[in-house]
Amino acid sequence: MKSTRLIFLFLLAAVACEDKGSDSKNQDQIKNAVTSGTWRITYYYDTDKEETANYNGYNFTFGTTALTASNNTNTYTGTWSISDSNSNDDSMDDLHFNIAFTAPPAFEELTDDWDILESTATKIRLVDVSGGNGGTDYLTFEKN
């Protein structure tokens, strides 16, 4: 019985380590995808209405930590990162796509720690449930 428990604990530890490695690999895959080329917002839904048009014509470039949005007239700079959340309302394995802009107001709306719904080499779908009013926001980037 004792050896069975030890084997079970060993297997449980091995699975936990394997899962953590998978998250790290996923983070690297997402970082490699977004830092390649330029992206555009193809969908933005803010709690109760679609606001995609606020970002028409903007191309987004993800650097190591800088995020730049530019069109033919304006350029706005923010930051971005991917983190592994361990807050009370998330599991340790949740990856967050963090965006921060300080201006203008339309880009400030993108500032959040988004949950990743889908990530491919050409599309990133994000969601955020607001803690204040319980509204749900959706954001999709697609590669140009």
The CATH number of the domain holding residue 91 is: 2.40.128
Q: What is the pLDDT of residues 67-87, one digit of tens each?
A: 999 999 999 999 999 988 655
H or E element, residue 3 = helix 2-34
Question: What span, in angstroms and rounded, lies between the C-alpha atoms of 33 and 16?
Answer: 26
Residues of the chain predicted below pLDDT 50? 2-23, 88-92
pLDDT at 13: 40
Integer Cα distance of 114 and 129 in angstroms: 9
Structural domain tally of the chain?
A: 1
Is residue 97 exposed (0-12), middle (13-18) or buried (19+ Cβ within 10 Å)? buried
What range defines the domain where residue 110 resides? Answer: 2-143
| Gap between the Cα atoms of 75 and 65, Å rounded | 16
In this predicted structure, what is the pLDDT of residue 94?
A: 75
* Angle, CA 139 vertex, CA 134 and CA 144 arms, to 5°: 175
| pTM, rounded to two decimals | 0.77
